[in-house]
Amino acid sequence: MTDYEAVILDVDGTIVRGEALLPGVTDGLRALEAAGCSRLLFSNNPTRGADHYGGKLAPHGIDVDPGSVLTSATVSAEYLAATHPDESVYLVGGERLRAILADAAVDLTTDPDAAEIVLGSFDRNFSFGTLWESLRALEDGVPFYGTDPDATIPVDDGEMPGTGAVLAAMAAVAGREADAILGKPSSIAAAAAMERLDADPRNVLVVGDRLDTDIALGNRAGMETALVLTGVTDRADLADTDTEPDHVLESLAAVETLL
């Protein structure tokens, strides 16, 4: 047994990279299960809902309950539906995120002049035209949110631009930063995670590969944190950061040393 009641696990860069399972992940998950830790997967991927990860991890022998999965897409949808009901949301983002928002009964508009809320996110089709429309949508102080701050996304052969790059462009033309990020590391994301875990934050371990999202989430919420070096962060990054993890692990396989 362990003092940890629960663990929040990042997915991309912690459990998988692209479609491949990272080495030792199964051993790490088994150690957490044997220690009696409740498990929540929390991905900042804004293109996927909770059901996706069951299908993604099942071929690797990892069972995932959709009720124990959060993504920046699902957190954003829940937040907008609860706090901005009946307000028209102009989305800069992909069709998968649009479908997740629609399923949560978020009112969407494709007319930038009708925007009452603007949500920026990862968009493979982001263009000059998109940026121009977002500038119109952001006029008159319309509330401006982002799904997540990730400037890049790890893929099989390296990295690709993420939501953070899109938000930076939108912020540059609008002359203001997003009012809030809804996914990790925000207080909104932490509250959504704790609602599902029903645990004391002091007894929760956050494991992830990003200092500015995973580790920052845990630090801000009073949780213990462990950085894994299987994603975008390496030891050199640790020498130049104010966001310090409680533990540094070579991979999720080493989580057993903390239990």
Which amino acid, one-letter code, is at 172? A
Catalytic status, residue 103: no
For 248, list phi and psi in degrees, rounded to 5: -125, 125
| Burial class of residue 115, CB neighbours in 10 A (0-12, 13-18, 19+) | buried
Catalytic status, residue 113: no
Please count the other Cβ atoms lying within 10 Å of the Cβ belonging to residue 83: 12
Rounded-to-10 torsion of CA 65, 67, 69, 74: 140
List 155's β-bridge partners, or say none.
158
Nearest to 12 by CA among 43, 48, 47: 43
Chain centroid offset of residue 137 CA: 25
Structure tokens at 78: 């829940």
List 161's β-bridge partners, or say none.
152
Nearest-angstrom CA–CA distance, 23 and 26: 8
Structure tokens at 48: 């996927």
Nearest-angstrom CA–CA distance, 111 and 163: 21
Q: Among the options 12, 148, 150, 209, which is catalytic?
A: 12
Q: Among the options 3, 10, 107, 156, which is catalytic?
A: 10
Mention every residue, 6+ apart, whose C-beta is less than 8 A from residue 13.
154, 208, 209, 210, 228, 230, 231, 232
Q: Enumerate the active-site residues.
A: 10, 12
